[in-house]
Amino acid sequence: MMILLKKVHRCYVLLIILLFFVLFYPFYAIAARRPAWYGTLNRLRTLNSFLCSMFTGIFFRFTYAVPLDKNATYIYCGNHTSNLDIMILCLIAKGRFHFMGKEELLKNPVLKIFFQTIDIPVNRESKISAFRAFKRAAENLKQGMSLVIFPEGKIDEHQYPPGLSPFKNGPFRLAIETNTAIVPVSITNAWKKMWDDGAKYGTRPGICDIYIHAPLDTAGLTIEDADSLKDSVYDLINLKLIKQ
């Protein structure tokens, strides 16, 4: 009976996400036309995420180690176990921000409008694609546009319950090269409400706890410090996950 209820709830969640996407789409299409309007595009994404949370009964409880500067440019690095993570980061990030994600999202009916415009798709198997993606991200960061990235690179669809996978090096080299502070984000239990896309175990309402760590300054660091920075972010995120 519980599995059936979770499957029904997943169908309801998908319906709500699709409904609000259709309602928001005309505004997305307009705001995505010009980079100057990307701030408005992000505010629409944030509002959409809030409404989806409210109507599906999946709520987010945010705990901040320190208040974040709303006018600062950050690289947000979060662990990735659920499709809810995109909504969560839309609610955390402020101002002009963009995501970097797998190239397959260009085919996603909901997300492709963003990955064709504001967000950055990357082919994980292509060094050229990765180089171009991080070059574009660096240019955006220098223009004051924060970046949201999941340094694991993907959701491990074979590991349940999920654990923290090794991080890719790219985000940390990028942070050092652009002198951008990193904000580690521990999404502790979203997978219990929706693991991956919810297809296997369904979804359920409840509260997801998210801990936003203090920004890690990269001033004075060199490329040789990238591995140490990566390990520091990994340890910070993982510490909250193992305490859940």
CA angle in degrees (0–180, nearest 5) for 15-118-56:
20
pLDDT over threshold 90, residue 212: yes
C-beta contacts of 108-112 below 8 A and 24+ residues apart: 110/17, 110/18, 110/21, 111/86
pLDDT of residue 242: 86
Residue type at 210?
A: I
pLDDT over threshold 80, residue 244: no
The mean per-residue pLDDT over the stretch 220-231 comes to: 96
pLDDT of residue 124: 82
CB 71 within 8 A of CB 178: no
pLDDT of residue 157: 83
pLDDT of residue 123: 92
Question: HSE on the CB side for 162, CA within 13 Å?
Answer: 24
pLDDT of residue 2: 85
Q: Count other Cβ atoms within 10 Å, centred on residue 97.
A: 26
Range of the domain at 186: 2-242
pLDDT of residue 158: 84
Q: What's the domain count of the chain?
A: 1
Output the domain CATH number for residue 198.
Answer: 3.40.1130
Per residue in 61-111, pLDDT (tens digit) is 999 999 999 999 999 999 999 999 999 999 999 889 999 999 999 999 999
Per residue in 137-177, pLDDT (tens digit) is 999 999 999 999 999 998 988 889 899 999 999 999 999 99
Q: What is the mean pLDDT of the chain?
A: 95
